Amino acid sequence: MKLYSYPAAPNPRRLHIFMAEKGIEMPFEPIDLMNGGQFAPAFVALNPMSTVPVLVADDGTVLTQVVAICDYLEALHPERPLLGSSALEKGEIREWSTRIFNEGLMAVAEAFRNSNPNFANRSVPGPLALAQEPVLVERGLKRLELFWSTLDARLAGRDFVVGNSYTMADIDALCTCDFARWIRKSIPAECTNILRWYAAVSARPSAKAG
């Protein structure tokens, strides 16, 4: 088994925190996104979409999606579960992880990739050269505002996004909050539930992964 990744990027960081929580280690090859390492022929042969992370299983199977890799690793290392124990908990964690990714992390990505000059003609991850669209910056920021209020309401009276323990939903939310700093946005002062939760989850050793 081997992992190709760029841990500092918000999407791969989700996986690295997941692995750190479980104590999973494996051979690792960094892919330097800042210098176009994702477009190197050898890497494109592994993942034609030129995105990270990529996990190559022992039998040669290639997984390129964080959720798929986490599902696979959870099955191999069921203790401590980060994707839920009961059927309902599994569903609820997937519900909130997906919402956080789509409504929060992707909102930040929309604003970031369409405003940062380093991503000119790379407004969407992958091999296509797509021009930046300034209107999407404003849309991403509006989506982020709604995300803050949604997450704050969810965390009212809760220590974790789902259930009574730290899960993948918390990992996704943490990575989204930190990614927002890339567009100079912080958790709003009025979102006291997020701020309380964020202080706790940021203190976990795994938060330093990536």
Strand ranges of the sheet holding 54-56, from the earlier edge strand across to the other edge: 28-30, 2-5, 54-56, 62-63
> According to the model, what pLDDT value does residue 145 have?
98
Q: What is the pLDDT of residues 110-137, one digit of tens each?
A: 999 999 998 998 899 889 999 999 999 9
Six-digit token string for 26: 């494996």
Q: Quote the radius of gyration of the chain (alpha carbons, Å).
A: 17
Q: Taking residues 57-69, what's their average pLDDT?
A: 98
Q: What domains sit in the chain, N to C, each tagged with a CATH number?
A: 2-76 (3.40.30.10), 87-208 (1.20.1050.10)
- In this predicted structure, the answer to whether residue 202 has a pLDDT above a threshold of 90 is yes
Q: What is the pLDDT of residues 134-161, one digit of tens each?
A: 999 999 999 999 999 999 999 999 999 9
Rounded to two decimals, what is the model's pTM?
0.96
Distance CA 165, CA 96 (A): 14
- In this predicted structure, the answer to whether residue 210 has a pLDDT above a threshold of 90 is no
Count of CB atoms within 10 A of residue 83's CB?
20
Contacts of residue 187, Cβ cutoff 8 Å, sequence gap at least 6 = 148, 177, 180, 194, 195, 198
Q: Determine phi and psi for 140, rounding to 5 degrees.
A: -60, -40
DSSP the chain: -EEEE-TTSHHHHHHHHHHHHHT----EEE--GGGTGGGSHHHHHH-TT--S-EEE-TTS-EE--HHHHHHHHHHH--SSPSS-SSHHHHHHHHHHHHHIIIIIIHHHHHHHHTT-GGGTTBSSSSS--B---HHHHHHHHHHHHHHHHHHHHHTTT-SSSSTTS--HHHHHHHHHHHHGGGGT----TT-HHHHHHHHHHHTSGGGG--
